[in-house]
Amino acid sequence: MFFTYLRRELRRRRKAALVVASGLALGIALVIVVNSVSSGMGQAQDKVLQSLYGLGTDMTVTKAADPQEEGQAQRPRFRFDAQDSGSDEEQSSDRVMVQGFETLASSTVAKVGSQDGVSNAVGGLSLQVVKVSGQFTRGQFQQGGGGGGGQPSGPGGEGRVEGGGADFDVNSYSVFGTDVTEPELGPLTSSKITSGRTFTSAETNAKVVVADASYAKEKKLAVGDTVTIKDVKYEVIGIATPESGDAAANLYIPLKQAQTLSDSADKVTTIYVKATDSQQIDAVKSEIQKNISGTTVTTSADLADTVSGSLSTASDLATSVGKWLSIVVLAAAFLVAGLLTSSAVSRRVREFGTLKALGWRSGRVTRQVVGEAVVNGLVGGALGIALGLVGAYVVTAISPTLQAELGGGGGTTGPGGGGFGGGPGRQAAARTLDVALTAPVSVTTIALAVALAVTGGLVAGAFGGWRASRLRPADALRRVE
């Protein structure tokens, strides 16, 4: 009887039911889209952060470089030997410098790893290589006589040297020394080997290198080629493609080789730390700072505060304005649905009064009204989920590009001078990454939509049920013409 009457009444009042369901659908659809976009923002920010630190890295330990007074900064010096041959030979010189931070003793890695809450710790050395290469061209001595074009000859008319000079090119690139015995931690873990292979644990001091894909393309490097750093030839064994953002360094070599090239024996610039419990990162950070003086501990949360640009702005809008807008619209939809249901009950005074006169109790009438409202809510929920999925699909299909500015503000924001954890070779100047926005819809979001639909129906039913429970059979008799 309940369902028969329910089906008949909903069919008879299709327009009113559709209005109530549509209002709830719009509110629920907005909630789905906002939650999906917010989730997409979170994934986009994770991609940005993963481009700055290795997967699995919870924090890094570094030591800030001592400020240098004006005029005390060491500049790269290059020296070229004089050539006494008739040919103009090309000469080159490399300057390998530790970049970004003050070096730490390798023993600090073990000390960090022994702190409470630390699962693993790995050291790395960030280097910058400046290569100057070119050639000197010997000038030609011209015998006496007037210079061509009305130009005078050399002093005393004995002749002069014409032509000659120097043509040199400066090339700068970043190199990162990684601990090959701990491949699961460090900046190289945020890249995927797309050609060749990665390091093996036996190559602790081998002359091998893994090149970043962009750098390899620029320099036309392939697996099997050689790269020369400070007169040492390294074989390219792999090409690494960053899974998001840009690479931590142009070239990766074993840590011992990096220490040898830079005359930094048993030194590191960055210590990558993995915590035993991701919920205790702040406590681990405090523990390290307390027991290892002079160091700076940076977490992903610290770096997230330095991300700006349209990604950060859109994320703030999605998490604050968007969610508040969803709440307001949803509350308005619930209120309108309740008022419409209550108004519909007012128009059915004669019907409900007659049903009570025939023996229906107030509870049964209330259940009937609530049942109709819940069905309207479920229909609105189905429509809202459909609209929300369409909206999320449109956002994902369009994939609007957002920009994330990293490492701005004139100072270094992380290891290597460019970001938390994996920034070897990065400069302190702001960099911009383009991130495509998606709007993934999770099962949790769908469950939330269903819960909102049922809640909306119950809210609307509560309004109408309360009104219906107050009706008396006498009210119906007054409406009989």
Angle at Cα 15 formed by Cα 11 and Cα 16, nearest 5°?
A: 95
Distance between start and end Cα atoms, the chain? 29
Average pLDDT of every residue of the chain: 74
- Beta-strand ranges (E) seen in 8-76 are 59-62
In the structure, what pLDDT confidence band is assigned to residue 145 with cuts at 50, 70 and 90? low
From 48, 54, 123, select the one nearest 422 (Cα to Cα). 54
| pLDDT higher at 251 or 4 | 251
- As given in the structure block, the two tokens for residue 350 are 């004669």
For residue 291, pLDDT over 80 is answered with: yes
What pTM value is reported for the model?
A: 0.56
Upper half-sphere CA count for residue 56 (Cβ side, 13 Å): 18
Phi, psi of 111 (to 5 degrees): -65, -40
For residue 461, pLDDT over 70 is answered with: yes
- Beta-strand ranges (E) seen in 314-389 are none
Phi, psi of 129 (to 5 degrees): -110, 125
What is the distance of C-alpha 102 from the center of its chain?
A: 27
So what's the pLDDT on residue 381? 84
In the structure, what pLDDT confidence band is assigned to residue 198 with cuts at 50, 70 and 90? very high
Phi, psi of 459 (to 5 degrees): -65, -45
| pLDDT higher at 113 or 408 | 113
Residues facing residue 159 across a β-bridge: 143
Residues facing residue 125 across a β-bridge: 177
- As given in the structure block, the two tokens for residue 14 are 């299709």
Ranges 146-150, 406-410, 451-455: which has the least confidence:
406-410
Ranges 159-168, 179-188, 230-239: which has the least confidence:
159-168
For residue 472, pLDDT over 50 is answered with: yes
H helices within 182-267, ranges in order? 213-219, 255-261
For residue 209, pLDDT over 80 is answered with: yes
Q: Which residue has the tokens 């001091």?
A: 205
Kindly give, in sequence order, each residue whose CB lies less than 8 Å from that of residue 446, ignoring residues fewer than 6 positions away: 32, 385
Cβ–Cβ under 8 Å, residues 253 and 209: yes
